[in-house]
Structure 1
Amino acid sequence: MLDLVFIFIFVHGCTSRPTENLGDIAITAEDPTQIRYEALRRLLKVFGIDDPPHSIHHIKQPPQYMIDLYNTIADADGVTKDPNLLEGNTVRSFFDKVHSDQLYFLFNLSTVTKNEKILTAELHLFKLKPRPTDYFNFRRHHFCQISVHLVLDKNKMHLPQGRKLLSSKLVPIYSPGWEVFSITQAVRIWNDDSNNQGILVTVRNLGGGPTDVNSIHFASGKDHHESKQPMLVLFTDDETRGAVSFSNQPDNNQLSIPNEPYISASNRTRMARAVQEDGHMPCQRHPLYVDFEEIGWSGWIISPRGYNAYHCKGLCPFPLGENMRPTNHATVQSIINALKLTQGVNSPCCVPDKLFSINLLYFDDDENVVLKQYDDMVAGSCGCH
């Protein structure tokens, strides 16, 4: 069975049952195909995905901006470096669908779910270096004013009544590179497809007069490499935070090796006897690698290729030392169990007491690239609870 069943380990703790009821279907050990199906379905639910995107090998390269953003907030395993670096928990990138030469852009936002709160929306345009023949037009100016408008009526978008100004800034004429404009107001208005009539960009010289649109060149999806295509970047939050987040910021040392609790000299003989008796070690963290290729998701997940979720396993024997990170309740339960004061009271469970978030960078069904952060996905350390 795939390691992905770790999710059930987290849910059901240290107890085990011969059968589990997953959804409305009773799963038995004699039905491995159904177990795999239900496990994958549950794992998709954890990642907030109803159906996996088509698992194909994408010819398109993900935008460099999205790759850089992922590398900024996540380590090699996708674990969040600092929870304060990302606004919200989802970043989506959309390519222009029009490929117009008239600085008119249209983005299909149908993959944005209704429960996502729009935080910030940015229009990214790559301004090309002027051609030698264009330098004559700018001999008196080194800057131009670029304005971004919400289109209210496509038939009148070049008239004042057919558009609404969103943002404007001065841009150096001779320097190529990315220019970013805020269009959050526009995306919030596009609460359904009928309101989405696109974005228009206009260019003026410093005297206020219109500049020849052919003199200022932006990369388009039609004529330039996809790495320079016009792009909308959308920051949202679907407000699906983890129910129990013991910690949001990992300790780099903890992420590299399992935590091994210190055992005092007075307890070593007792622990050695316990290990001899049933072959178990004291409560500690063990590796649990989730391989997206083995699961069958490598066709649409860009990064990471897999991650170490870790799991907790081991004894929580009486008496519980501080090295076991016990809760007060676990300490009392351990005492009651040791004294046999109440029948049916087990020893405390070895479970995660610190959880970290991970990030996925992936393609959706429309070939858009999505960066999403998921809480409580990595056991940072273990304790007796």
Structure 2
Amino acid sequence: MLTLALSFAALVCAVAARPSLNYLESHTAENESEEVRSAAIKRLLEVFGMEDPPAIHGHKQPPQYMLDLYNTVADVDGVTKDPYLLEGNTVRSFFDRLRSEQVEFRFNLSTVARTEKILTAELHLFKLRPQATSTFNRHHFCQVSVYQVLDTSKSNNTLGKKLLSSRLIPVHSTGWEVFTITQAVRSWMVDEGNNLGLHVVVQTLGGSKMDLKLIRFASGRNHHQSKQPMLVLFTDDGRRSSAPEITDPNDFAATSSLPHAPMSGPPSRSARSLDYSDEDGMSMPCQRLPLYVDFEEIGWSGWIVSPRGYNAYHCKGSCSFPLGQNMRPTNHATVQSIINALKLIKGIETPCCVPDKLFSINLLYFDDDENVVLKQYSDMVAGSCGCH
């Protein structure tokens, strides 16, 4: 009897220890949901040209130049103002790695893909206010030359350098000075071993060396990050769209007579409810509806500087006969709708409601090396919808 009781108790314990059917179903659903989310995020990264999201190192302040550039080419929601404002589709910024007090600079370009075409490379130096000296009154201009270092053993000899850019600068001025150094960067991309850095030489108009107390550029060691030496690359990664974009900002609003939902945040409840109006049996005509992509919900807000999200919009509705001009139909769609209405051929569906204009967006973000990148992505926003 005791043996039977012990056997029964063991059975009860085994059943109790076994997961319930509901638990297993719930656990399986969670795993499947996580797999779908992981696959979706991976696919979205591919759309943005990345294999993995950049590592988050902390909250650094983006260079003011990159913020200003972003605001020049994009509106508050990241949508491109004019596709011809930006040279190429990618702008990368790099801070000096030598952090030397001397006029020597070196930049790590390992994050630049070999496939990217270097269009323009600029060295940005912040000229500080000159210190008061007896020579200040004698010199009003100086010659500033930027050299590519070819041989570090000849650092004090022009034979070990290649002149990249040279021009006159007012001695009394203060602010950013920009020098084009495209040739050097292109050679560095061909052979990383060629990247021995840059050297800046400051001379009087007569060719003699200037007093470094008179002409001073901010260094990465002793000055605020906002004034650090910076290399800016304008490149093209070959991912540009073949479809032309509208260049007149006013045309963007003219592409649809529908009310535009605010793009600075998620759509309102009333905007969302439009998406389901046809569930009541009232078939709506083809139109553009809100579709807000929130980078914070995706988990990307840590490395994306701007925008916080954007309204991609989507197209929904019927393309039933007769198709009015407000539905922006193609000739093919018009013929297809007629064939469908007359039932001349079996199995011919009505035309589809799809985007007929697409616009690019701009992303300002930190890469794995904490460099700030501005990138333009084509075909990201449905500008208007039509029957096709």
TM bucket normalised to smaller: 0.7 to 0.9
Counterpart of 1:199 in structure 2 is: 198
Is contact 1:259–1:382 with CA below 8 Å preserved after alignment?
no
Counterpart of 1:284 in structure 2 is: 287
Counterpart of 1:65 in structure 2 is: 65
Q: CA RMSD in A?
A: 2.2
**Partners of 1:46 and 1:275 in 2: CA distance:** 31
Counterpart of 2:89 in structure 1 is: 89
Counterpart of 1:44 in structure 2 is: 45
1:33 aligns with 2:34: yes
**Partners of 2:137 and 2:252 in 1: CA distance:** 60
SS in 1 for 2:217: coil
Counterpart of 2:56 in structure 1 is: 55
**Partners of 1:327 and 1:361 in 2: CA distance:** 37
Which segment drifts farther, 285-294 or 156-165?
156-165
Alignment of 1:153-168 (within 5 A): 153-168=151-166
Gaps of 5+ in 1: 1-27, 262-273
Counterpart of 1:125 in structure 2 is: 125
Counterpart of 1:116 in structure 2 is: 116
**Partners of 2:244 and 2:382 in 1: CA distance:** 10
Aligned-partner residue type, residue 91 of structure 2: V
1:330 positional shift? 0.8
Q: Deviations over 1:138-192 (max 9, x none)?
A: 3211111110000001121220211011111111111111110010010011123
The alpha-carbon distance between structure 1 residues 174 and 324, as it changes in their structure 2 partners (threshold 3 A), is: same
1:346 aligns with 2:349: yes
**Partners of 1:107 and 1:82 in 2: CA distance:** 31
Q: Deviations over 1:324-369 (max 9, x none)?
A: 1111111111111112222221111100001111100000010100
The alpha-carbon distance between structure 1 residues 162 and 251, as it changes in their structure 2 partners (threshold 3 A), is: closer
1:183 aligns with 2:184: no
Is contact 1:350–1:383 with CA below 8 Å preserved after alignment?
yes
Aligned-partner residue type, residue 194 of structure 1: G
Aligned-partner residue type, residue 335 of structure 2: V
1:239 aligns with 2:242: no
Aligned-partner residue type, residue 72 of structure 2: T
How many residues matched?
342
Is contact 1:55–1:297 with CA below 8 Å preserved after alignment?
no
Q: How many percent of aligned residue pairs carry the same amino acid?
A: 67
1:277 positional shift? 7.3
What TM-score results when the alignment is normalised by the length of structure 2? 0.84
1:276 positional shift? 8.9
Aligned-partner residue type, residue 120 of structure 2: T
Gaps of 5+ in 2: 1-28, 260-276
1:123 positional shift? 0.3
**Partners of 2:340 and 2:290 in 1: CA distance:** 29
Candidates 374, 381, 384, aligned match of 1:381: 384
Q: Deviations over 1:253-304 (max 9, x none)?
A: 745996439xxxxxxxxxxxx9697333110000110000011000000000
1:333 aligns with 2:332: no
Aligned-partner residue type, residue 358 of structure 1: I
1:102 positional shift? 1.6
Is contact 2:57–2:370 with CA below 8 Å preserved after alignment?
no
SS in 1 for 2:110: coil
1:250 positional shift? 6.2
SS in 2 for 1:136: coil
Q: Deviations over 1:303-330 (max 9, x none)?
A: 0010000000011111111111111111
Aligned-partner residue type, residue 182 of structure 1: T
Aligned-partner residue type, residue 83 of structure 1: P
SS in 2 for 1:139: helix
1:246 positional shift? 5.2
**Partners of 1:256 and 1:361 in 2: CA distance:** 28
Which protein has the larger Cα radius of gyration, Structure 1 or Structure 2?
A: 2
Counterpart of 1:107 in structure 2 is: 107
1:57 positional shift? 3.8
Aligned-partner residue type, residue 182 of structure 2: T
**Partners of 1:208 and 1:56 in 2: CA distance:** 45
**Partners of 2:204 and 2:315 in 1: CA distance:** 64
1:364 aligns with 2:370: no
1:34 positional shift? 1.8
Is contact 1:121–1:184 with CA below 8 Å preserved after alignment?
yes
Aligned-partner residue type, residue 150 of structure 2: L
Is contact 1:250–1:356 with CA below 8 Å preserved after alignment?
no
Is contact 1:80–1:249 with CA below 8 Å preserved after alignment?
no
Counterpart of 1:208 in structure 2 is: 207
